[in-house]
Structure 1
Amino acid sequence: MGTAVTTALHALPHLPSPPQVRADGSDPFVFHARRLRAGAALEDTSRFSDDVWVLGPAMLKKHERRFILDFTLLPATHRQVAKELCYEMLSGTVPAGEDRPEVATIRTAFTEYLRFLRWAAARPRRLDAMTGRDLEDFQRFLIKSLPAADARQRARSAARKFWLWRSVLSSDVLRFDPRHVDGWSEPKAHSSENATARIPEEVLGPLFVWAMRFIDEFSTDILAADRHWRTPPPAPAEPHVYGDLPILLRAWLDAHITAGKPLPGWRGEPSTTGVAQALGRNPISLGRYRHLIDEAAAIVGLTPQIVRDLPIRGRLDDEPWIGAILADHTEPDSLAALARILQDSCYLVLSFLSGARDSEIKHLRRGALRTECDANGTPYRWKMHSLAFKSEDDPAGVPATWSIGEPAARAITVLERLQPPGTEYLFSRLEHSPGVKRNAASQVLTSGATNARLNTFAAWINDYCQRHGRTDGIPLVNQQPFHLKNGQFRRTLAWFIARRPGGVIAGALAYRHHCIQVFEGYAGTSESGFRAEVESEQALARGEHLMTAIDAHEHTHLTGPAADEAARRLETFGERARFQGTVVLDDNRLRRLMAKHDPAVYPGQYITCVHDHAKALCERARHRRSEGLPDHGGCKPLACRNVALTPENTAAWQREIDRITRRLATRPTLPPLLRHRLEARRTEITAFLLENTTTTRESA
């Protein structure tokens, strides 16, 4: 009988496996050591024995997708160790030298655990019996299955967790560090620099212009249509007279036929809803008179149903930018499509002008904008308040502030008007499309959704330009549309900051104030690495400038106390850049050259700084000294011995003298103290130029 029972059991291949609990017999909640989202209760969350762990309750960022860990995808032989590893990472004991990862990070790594354990299940040995030769086979398996070196590195890193976390796992773990296996690691495919692509200027220019058009020009019509869409039709002032509907309908249809005005249509058919809205009646009551509507439509035709019958106020080249805002959400000029584009335009402007990350923008709430005004009530500073996450101790984010410009402030104002009053987050999903669920797990747009919508925006622009014969669309890059991602705007902002002329030298005060404004919020809030990114771009821009000057022999025309030293450094730098007598430099090679042989020559509007720590008067700022960089904010160009002058520098000083002279000649006469200071300043600059430009470097 026992044999018969066993045979019968084997004939049932889909019997569920018994619940798997921890080795100590406990079945804890997997999030007992994690903070949960507002409204989530621990007793409603996943336990260790569950085959599928729902991660949503512990994912605290509003814009994150709600993931699961599906352990049924793992081979049964290794399911227990995978559960133990994920549990310890979520709420268990963290081994010495390791950090507790974020929930989303665990979900990303789970894909690699699945890859490794599926491969291991096909081996004759358990994990704790594997040898170096087995892991060499795993490396060969990765080379065959994953063409990208970065992907293989992620897979190896995940497999190594079964060694690094061995002390908190019950059994079936790696017994040696895979890093010691020959051939386990590979040379890095690229440097550690930010590899996010910058948005080409020919793409960013028209994209930003169209975004501002939506915010400043088109938003009036879109917001008006949105208000109309959200407002229920008013109740009739007096009860309808029984039997008057066919009379009103015939009169309305006759007026359209007389004027030759098409009826509102919906996907090729007359829209009873549109007719009912025009008459102020219920669409159901028009059903019995559909034949009258169809007869009139056959005479005058149809036009797509619009949201509201009011004039379009927004202008483009002194003409209405659109004929009407349509009701059908599938149309490119529908309220649903245009409202999303308006929201995406605000995202684009905020992302580019603030430098905030996607997660930080997605946590903007109503009231996030603070405006500071002067004594006359004129706004002069706008601040954006949200949450920062990167490198912060609190996984739910910490309050942070960004100083932004007026265009970005206008974008926040538009977002607040676009969302209904009861909606808190400004990048909540809009409700104009029927597919939007009010009770969806993630009401705030995810990063993937934003990426898709940014590219939809670019496609809408090109479609609009094609329909209206315009030439200011988004051009192709390498014969194909440039693929936009949210992180590119922050990267591109760094590139523009680094390349502002005179931005790193004293005298370019406007640019330095702009830099401080951009960095004021997020650079001091979390260790974003953005400042280092900007300095890397600054070094590249400076290297390009220096190579251009060297090729034009401009360094031979320098004057000033550091002219000889500047010429020597630049000649040496130029020699290092030459290959077989020709300068061949792409961006990567120039970055390496600047990293190894930076001549520490900083061209600027008023001076060229030939930095020498021993002579620098700006070296009093201790934190700048520790970085090995000059503090150009404390530059004293008229006294410092690190100064060299190009002809352009000399011309800039002469323009400064001319400005002071014009100021002194103004009427009424300036106050004595201000006049004295301006005269002293002019005298000092004149003496400086007289001393440092009359004697050339060659004659010295």
Structure 2
Amino acid sequence: MTATGAATAAALALTDPAPDTPVIPSERLRPGVALETVSRFADDWWDLGPLERKETSTTKTLHWKTFPEVLRPSMKRIAWAVINKPTPDVLLRRPKTTARPFISAQTLLHASKTWWDLGDWLALRQITSLDQVDQEILEEYADKVRELGNSFGHARNKLFAVTRMWAYAPFLLPQDRLCMPPWDDLGAEITDFLGEKDEPRGENTTAVIHPATMSPLLVWALRVITDLAPDVLAAWRESQRLLANLPPKAERGRKGKAVYQRLREYFDGLRAAGKAVPTYGGYLAPNLAKAATARGATREEAVSAKFVGGMLGVNQKQVSSFLKRCPEVLEGQKFADGAPLELPITAMIDGRPWTESIEFTQVKQLGLHLSTAALVVIAYLSGMRPEEVLHLEHGCASREEREDGTVRYRVNGRHFKGVVDEEGNIIPEGEMRPEPWTVIELVHRAIEVVEELDQGPLLFSRNLTTAPRADRRHGKALAPGAVVQRLKSFMKWANELAVKHSRDHELIPPDPDGNVTMQRFRRTVAWFIYRRPGGRIALGIQYGHVGSSMGESYGGRSRFDMLEILNFEEGLVMAENLATASERVASGEGVSGPAATRYVVAARAFQVRYEGGFMTKRQHRAIRADPNLRVYEHPESLLTCNHDPFKALCDPDRGRGAGQRTPSFSRCDMACANISRTDTHIERAKVERQAITEELADGLNPFPVAQRLRQRDQKLESIINEHEASCIVPEPRTEDGQ
């Protein structure tokens, strides 16, 4: 038999692995994982981690003891076949399928949740073999899935997990074969079993981080990177120096006596100079004896042996041993609340040092906060996806000075979305991007800062932690789940600094939608920027994804995601503006300006069609497409733009050619026929005039500034007078809504 024939025979062989058969074949193992360490078929739990290639991967396991015992052998054989055999063509040929030639660990884990649920459900019906299951039973299971009330997509995925079991039937023993599910039968529609589809959902369903949370979070992240970083890094370097100065072994004999003499001189020197003995901060307080008793520690145990050892180049065990033998060296000593490093504090907050000192045992936690701040800045201001940020390596950032004097900051790294091999399999480890990301200087600075912290190739490795513990993770990078905990810790620490420095306006409140996660940063920056005048252009510049180098490097994939976000945000903004307009019109506000009639018509049309309901994604698209509903609020110019591209003076082409989709508020012309104003705008104008009057009255402004204020006051007066002379008050709506 030829090698090809043997491989074909193996693929067609019925699945019945021996107890010691590896769960994962050697060709699918993560590099560096030995086949001898892989879970075996007979094991009660299977570790799927060796299937993962991303550095952010965590342990994923199948715990077979929790699966119904009577069906467990069959389900284990099915799971083994799914891992070891290529995906059957019946799944790959399905229209709009997401199935790949080989299943990933994450997909397998999701499918297993349905398998466990189905197994428990079948066991309750006294079913002891999968070949006893008929289509009627599976139809009942579909009813159960529908009644759970989950989204259509979630329910469909659960039924597809059952379909996957059936698809492998030709490779299974007779007792392991499941019949064709009724939803896969010829002519059947999935909606016949799950009901009508809900609105299609995508990346835009990710919750925006609330502005009250995101704004101070970014403020503190930037402050740490730009202001506090030098102090933290200096403490980090000093801490590393002290730790490196600790001898691995204690000196013995004559050298040991010399060490004891050095220690005695050190403590005597502290007493003579009136300096405090460094301690573990947790043991102390102003009353050492009381604190030590409360913690069950002696005075000698409160001394920071590691700090003293690092200062003197002495093994820390030798420091502890010396203090036990010679406790008299502590008599009459002052004790510090911790072990402060002898470093100057250079960073200020409101003109005061941000901290009195940096304590030796706090350095690692401060390093974590600095790393987290860098993570926030990079993830939020670069537009990278979470996996792309967490896989960045040392040396990834570069600075390019151009001949025209401009500077470009680039970041090289991996990308993962849509990266597949020639057979359509996802390449889990991703690939290096052919073109780098273009980022702003702050992102470049954040990368430089974090490069000074961590060891190893990755910027955000899991080596930097205050709680080292054994685990069975397979990746070397920080996992997205761990980022959530670091963000919580960072926000708590930032809030403590805000309180300490009386900056209550910079407190970071909890986000109403739950934990701040990396997935939410990319979504949030679009929301923030798009709502500003000229936001669509600013967002493209900020991300750098809609233009030249980023568009090329994403190859269209990310550009599609970005434009989806932009379009959805435009619909949200327009809906909010129209809702505000309908409220103003309904309350009897006067409306003036060339587009006053169009403003009223748009407000009432929106009120009739959409008032009082939850707007779907389709309705947002309809608003964007309706030329009569293109209402944009411009608070800085105290007006509303009822955008008609053929009348827009901000568009030099006046609708010729492609035209502008949105108004360009940076080129707003007060003579434009698209302008309307309401009583709300005029009230704001009056408030601004009052503020200008008060500022001019004190006479403290230089002449050019005062002149500009007078010009602004005259312009506001003109706007107010024109509105009061020409405004119309819309008639109240009749009972039929007209």
Which TM-score applies when normalising by structure 2?
0.69
Aligned equivalent of 2:346, options 307, 313, 337: 313
Would the aligned equivalents of 1:555 and 1:567 in 2 still touch at CA under 8 Å? no
In the TM superposition, residue 178 of structure 1 has moved relative to its aligned partner by 4.1
Counterparts of 1:536-551 in structure 2, within 5 Å, are: 536-549=568-581
In the TM superposition, residue 488 of structure 1 has moved relative to its aligned partner by 1.4
The one-letter code matched in structure 1 to 2:412 is H
Matched, 1:23 2:17: no
**Aligned position for 1:344:** 372
SS at match of 2:478: coil
Quote the Cα distance in structure 2 between the aligned partners of 1:451 and 1:210.
17
**Aligned position for 1:382:** 409
What is the count of residue pairs matched by the alignment?
596
**Aligned position for 1:693:** none
**Aligned position for 1:118:** 120
**Aligned position for 1:409:** 444
**Aligned position for 1:219:** 229
In the TM superposition, residue 310 of structure 1 has moved relative to its aligned partner by 1.8
SS at match of 2:278: strand
Would the aligned equivalents of 2:49 and 2:473 in 1 still touch at CA under 8 Å? no
**Aligned position for 1:11:** none
SS at match of 1:424: coil
The one-letter code matched in structure 2 to 1:173 is L
Quote the Cα distance in structure 2 between the aligned partners of 1:271 and 1:617.
74
Q: Percent identity between the aligned chains?
A: 23
**Aligned position for 1:677:** none
**Aligned position for 1:9:** none
Cα distance change on mapping 1:299 and 1:116 into 2, 3 Å: farther
The one-letter code matched in structure 1 to 2:48 is L
**Aligned position for 2:210:** 200
Would the aligned equivalents of 2:377 and 2:443 in 1 still touch at CA under 8 Å? yes
Cα distance change on mapping 1:182 and 1:448 into 2, 3 Å: closer
Quote the Cα distance in structure 1 between the aligned partners of 2:312 and 2:134.
81
The farther-off stretch of 588-597 and 206-215 is: 588-597
**Aligned position for 2:194:** 185
**Aligned position for 2:704:** none
**Aligned position for 2:62:** 69
Quote the Cα distance in structure 1 between the aligned partners of 2:106 and 2:446.
30
The one-letter code matched in structure 2 to 1:175 is M
Aligned equivalent of 1:174, options 170, 179, 182: 179
More helix by share: 2
In the TM superposition, residue 248 of structure 1 has moved relative to its aligned partner by 4.5
Aligned equivalent of 1:596, options 591, 606, 622: 622
**Aligned position for 2:81:** 87
In the TM superposition, residue 47 of structure 1 has moved relative to its aligned partner by 6.2
Counterparts of 1:22-421 in structure 2, within 5 Å, are: 23=14, 31-32=24-25, 35-40=28-33, 45=38, 52-74=45-67, 75-85=69-79, 87-88=81-82, 91-95=85-89, 96-97=93-94, 98=97, 99-100=99-100, 101-125=103-127, 126-135=129-138, 137-138=140-141, 154-166=157-169, 169-171=172-174, 172-178=177-183, 184-186=193-195, 192=201, 194-231=204-241, 232-233=244-245, 248-266=262-280, 267-268=282-283, 269-287=302-320, 289-291=322-324, 294-297=327-330, 299-306=332-339, 308-328=341-361, 334-375=362-403, 380-393=407-420, 394-400=427-433, 401-420=436-455
Cα distance change on mapping 1:198 and 1:483 into 2, 3 Å: same
Quote the Cα distance in structure 2 between the aligned partners of 1:455 and 1:446.
15
**Aligned position for 1:671:** none
The one-letter code matched in structure 1 to 2:486 is R
In the TM superposition, residue 410 of structure 1 has moved relative to its aligned partner by 0.8
Quote the Cα distance in structure 2 between the aligned partners of 1:610 and 1:402.
36
The one-letter code matched in structure 1 to 2:550 is G
SS at match of 1:441: coil
In the TM superposition, residue 250 of structure 1 has moved relative to its aligned partner by 4.2
The one-letter code matched in structure 2 to 1:446 is A
SS at match of 2:360: coil
Would the aligned equivalents of 1:392 and 1:526 in 2 still touch at CA under 8 Å? no
Quote the Cα distance in structure 2 between the aligned partners of 1:594 and 1:358.
28
SS at match of 2:336: strand
Cα distance change on mapping 1:306 and 1:121 into 2, 3 Å: same
Deviation sequence 1:476-527 (CA, Å, 0-9, x none): 458x8952122111111121232121335xxxx6565346457763754534
Deviation sequence 1:562-581 (CA, Å, 0-9, x none): x69956962663353475xx
In the TM superposition, residue 610 of structure 1 has moved relative to its aligned partner by 2.6
Would the aligned equivalents of 2:579 and 2:607 in 1 still touch at CA under 8 Å? no
Quote the Cα distance in structure 2 between the aligned partners of 1:537 and 1:481.
18
Would the aligned equivalents of 1:212 and 1:349 in 2 still touch at CA under 8 Å? yes
Quote the Cα distance in structure 2 between the aligned partners of 1:301 and 1:452.
37
Quote the Cα distance in structure 1 between the aligned partners of 2:17 and 2:656.
62
Would the aligned equivalents of 2:439 and 2:544 in 1 still touch at CA under 8 Å? no
The farther-off stretch of 396-405 and 515-524 is: 515-524
SS at match of 1:299: coil
Quote the Cα distance in structure 2 between the aligned partners of 1:473 and 1:292.
51
In the TM superposition, residue 452 of structure 1 has moved relative to its aligned partner by 1.6
Deviation sequence 1:445-488 (CA, Å, 0-9, x none): 1111111211121122234444565524534458x895212211
Deviation sequence 1:391-439 (CA, Å, 0-9, x none): 222332133332221111111111111123xx11111123463615699
**Aligned position for 2:644:** 610
**Aligned position for 2:715:** none
SS at match of 1:306: coil
The farther-off stretch of 294-303 and 100-109 is: 294-303
Counterparts of 1:491-640 in structure 2, within 5 Å, are: 491-504=523-536, 513-514=541-542, 516=544, 521=550, 524=555, 526-527=557-558, 529-549=561-581, 552=584, 557=592, 559=594, 570=602, 573-577=605-609, 579=611, 584=612, 588-589=614-615, 593-598=619-624, 599-600=626-627, 601=630, 603=632, 609-610=643-644
The farther-off stretch of 26-35 and 172-181 is: 26-35
The farther-off stretch of 310-319 and 487-496 is: 310-319
Runs of at least 5 residues in structure 2 that lack an aligned partner in the other structure: 1-11, 248-252, 284-301, 421-426, 679-725, 729-738
In the TM superposition, residue 357 of structure 1 has moved relative to its aligned partner by 1.4
In the TM superposition, residue 207 of structure 1 has moved relative to its aligned partner by 1.0
In the TM superposition, residue 644 of structure 1 has moved relative to its aligned partner by 3.6
Deviation sequence 1:557-602 (CA, Å, 0-9, x none): 554xxx69956962663353475xxxx47xx428554333442326
Cα distance change on mapping 1:260 and 1:163 into 2, 3 Å: same
Would the aligned equivalents of 1:608 and 1:645 in 2 still touch at CA under 8 Å? yes
Quote the Cα distance in structure 2 between the aligned partners of 1:170 and 1:104.
26
Quote the Cα distance in structure 2 between the aligned partners of 1:153 and 1:441.
31
Cα distance change on mapping 1:272 and 1:137 into 2, 3 Å: same
Cα distance change on mapping 1:241 and 1:89 into 2, 3 Å: closer
Matched, 1:456 2:489: yes
The one-letter code matched in structure 2 to 1:453 is R
Deviation sequence 1:63-108 (CA, Å, 0-9, x none): 0113233444433435334533553355424333252242211122
Cα distance change on mapping 1:177 and 1:589 into 2, 3 Å: same
In the TM superposition, residue 326 of structure 1 has moved relative to its aligned partner by 2.9
Quote the Cα distance in structure 2 between the aligned partners of 1:461 and 1:389.
33
The one-letter code matched in structure 2 to 1:213 is R
SS at match of 1:382: strand
Quote the Cα distance in structure 2 between the aligned partners of 1:512 and 1:32.
45
Quote the Cα distance in structure 2 between the aligned partners of 1:293 and 1:620.
90
Cα distance change on mapping 1:436 and 1:410 into 2, 3 Å: farther
The farther-off stretch of 29-38 and 384-393 is: 29-38
Cα distance change on mapping 1:24 and 1:137 into 2, 3 Å: closer
In the TM superposition, residue 158 of structure 1 has moved relative to its aligned partner by 2.5
